[in-house]
Amino acid sequence: MSWLVTGGAGYVGAHVVRAMAAAGERVVVLDDLSTGDPARLVAVPLVVGSVRDRGLVRRVLREHAVQGVVHLAGRAGAEESGADPLPYWTENVEGTVALLEGCRAKGVARVVLSSTAAAYPEADGTPRSPYGRTALAAEWAVRDGAAWGCAAVVLRCCEVAGAATPELGDRSPTGPLAPVFRAVDEGRRPVLHGDGHPTPDGSPVRDLVHVADVADAHLAAVRALTAGSPGGTHDVGRGEPSSDREVLRLVGEVTGADTEPEVVAARPGAPGRLAAADRTARELGFRARRDLRSVVASAWAAWRAQQPF
């Protein structure tokens, strides 16, 4: 019996595959390689195709004797989704529905959904970006699987960064540390969006979590479902504020660059949300182990490995 990991050639997915394989789980990956890279996968079967291809999904579920699905295939750019929302609805919502139809048809009744803290509502009651709204819709499609006996764990991941090895790093130009790394490369001062926030050092805060910890959370969800858990929705993060000033200080230490920022106008909206990490630890048995320095240092090593110089 195998677990199907959709989007397993992507940044987060490849770490999930690595953690599951290391823990002795048999894994098969379905990925259309739209942003994924097969070089991230070692010794794991890869089926190239879309989760929206209903026939292909059924074939993979049957041929690999799939017992559960970890679903990471989709699009994950909040800003991009604002400019061009329809592909987000197609890939994230239609893709999830097509996958679930295959699961129901083949009696696969365990699903882990990799979601995002961007699915949390803002003050007006809705997630801020089309990306967050499609993630929320996908969450409900998965959770409503309870009607046909499907147990689901939804993981609302905070801002994911770092890499287990440099080759597995985030290739997205909009990753959480990309702006400061670009500034270091170009010899510019990084930008700090406001220093009058109601936070201990006045700079914005967010919950930056190491991707290897995020992978461990997915493994914990797989284990919970295998043990018969009915599932639930959990935050995945360190549960501690990473302030932008602290991140800049660490980037300075790791890179040797001067990262004293240029302070510009604050962005609209409150400083970031922190994961309810204690609840996740209690209910899912998962807690992030890597600290912010390890996030920054491994992200920088991966960034350097991807640069052409």
The residue within the footprint of ligand NAD, chosen from 72, 108, 141, 151 (CB under 6 A), is: 72
**∠ Cα 108 111 115 (to 5°):** 155
CB of residue 228 to ligand NAD, shortest distance in Å: 25
- Of the listed pieces 61-69, 70-78, 247-255, 288-296, which binds ligand NAD according to CB under 6 A? 70-78
| Rounded CA separation 236/209 (Å) | 8
How many residues belong to the site for ligand NAD (CB under 6 A)?
Answer: 29
| Rounded CA separation 213/287 (Å) | 8
The residue within the footprint of ligand NAD, chosen from 34, 165, 199, 233 (CB under 6 A), is: 34
In sequence order, the β-bridge partners of residue 69 are 4, 111
Nearer to ligand NAD, 74 or 271 (CB): 74
Write the binding mask 82 to 101 for ligand NAD: x where contact by CB under 6 A, - elsewhere: ---------x---x------
Q: Which of residues 128-167 bind ligand NAD (CB under 6 A)?
A: 135, 157, 159-160
Write the binding mask 186 to 215 for ligand NAD: x where contact by CB under 6 A, - elsewhere: ------------------------------
CB of residue 37 to ligand NAD, shortest distance in Å: 7
| Residue 12 touching ligand NAD (CB under 6 A) | yes
| Residue 60 touching ligand NAD (CB under 6 A) | no
| Rounded CA separation 275/261 (Å) | 27
Tokens (6 digits) for 161 = 């960064």
Strand, coil or helix: 259: coil
| Residue 114 touching ligand NAD (CB under 6 A) | yes
Strands 205-206 and 242-243: antiparallel
Q: Is 91 exposed, middle or buried (0-12, 13-18, 19+ CB in 10 A)?
A: buried
DSSP assignment of 163-180 equals -SSGGGS---TTSTTHHH
The residue within the footprint of ligand NAD, chosen from 116, 242, 255, 280 (CB under 6 A), is: 116
Strand order in the sheet with 231-236: 46-48, 27-31, 2-6, 66-71, 110-116, 151-157, 231-236
| Rounded CA separation 261/276 (Å) | 30
Residues designated as active site: 131
The DSSP 8-state label assigned to residue 289 in this structure reads -
Query: Where is 212: in which H helix or E strand?
Result: helix 211-226
- Of the listed pieces 69-77, 101-109, 142-150, 281-289, which binds ligand NAD according to CB under 6 A? 69-77
The residue within the footprint of ligand NAD, chosen from 36, 102, 127, 130 (CB under 6 A), is: 36
Q: Which residues bind ligand NAD (CB under 6 A)?
A: 6-7, 9-13, 30-36, 50-52, 72-74, 76, 91, 95, 114, 116, 135, 157, 159-160
